[in-house]
Amino acid sequence: ASEVLGGSPSSFGKVAGKSMGGGEPLGPDYMKLASEQRMNTDIRRSIFVVLMSSEDYVDAFERLMGLGLKGSQEREMSRVLLHCCLQEAAYNPYYFYIARSLVKQSKQQKLSFLFTTSDKLKELAAMSARAIANLANFTAAFAAAKLVPFTIIKALGLGNGNVNKKQALFLQIFLEEHLKVARAEDVHQQLLGVFMKPEYKALQVSLSMYIMKYFAKNLKHSKLERNVLNRVKTNSAIALKALNGTAM
């Protein structure tokens, strides 16, 4: 699949010795991989095979729709997709583009991805650095596209100013990816909402502390191009103002 079409299909799903056969599901190898990935129901295995064997995200979306899943069956799409996304050796936007298509097609899918992503954020302590990086990229893409609210990261369970190493890794990647594409006005509006609502107090304190103490310092190691880096720095300053209830 072309990068223009939203990334290539799964790298860990490319089973040695088998052709993808024009996007058609393959039997033994994909089913074995599904078993290794703990896809323990027929529905999960069907979704998994589609994700692994599709030509690109358009093909994957059309084939997922062709499964004809309803109700609780439909909710398995977000669970399997997030699982696969986190297993990749590096973040693959292929999964975001499929998820975006699903969310735009159905309110049920929007809720499903909101809940599934929130659940994954709560499991951060058990994740590898690779999985955390993939989750941060995926969540940032979703938030930047306004498919989930910025405040979804409340599910991280940040304490008042306390951020552990895994939370810090997530926040650094999430903020970089979000701030490099978001409009300044959107950043201010999103973060002002965090400041204004009492239920986000712990998130407001922790984000403010992280941005002030660590975010800019960690940007020194960033590989972003200079103009993109400057945009991130500008937006982070706007975010900090919003978190303290001040105008742009």
| Cα separation, 225 vs 216, whole angstroms | 15
pLDDT tens-place string over residues 146-188: 899 999 999 999 987 788 999 999 999 999 999 999 999 999 9
For the entire predicted model, the pTM comes to 0.87
pLDDT, position 142: 93
* DSSP structure string for 155-215: GG---SS---HHHHHHHHHHHHHHHTTS-HHHHHHHHHHHHH-GGGHHHHHHHHHHIIIII
pLDDT tens-place string over residues 85-124: 999 999 999 999 999 999 999 899 999 999 999 999 999 9
For residue 221, pLDDT over 90 is answered with no
| Cα separation, 97 vs 58, whole angstroms | 8
Average of per-residue pLDDT across 76-91: 94
Residue 235 · residue 188 · CB < 8 Å: no
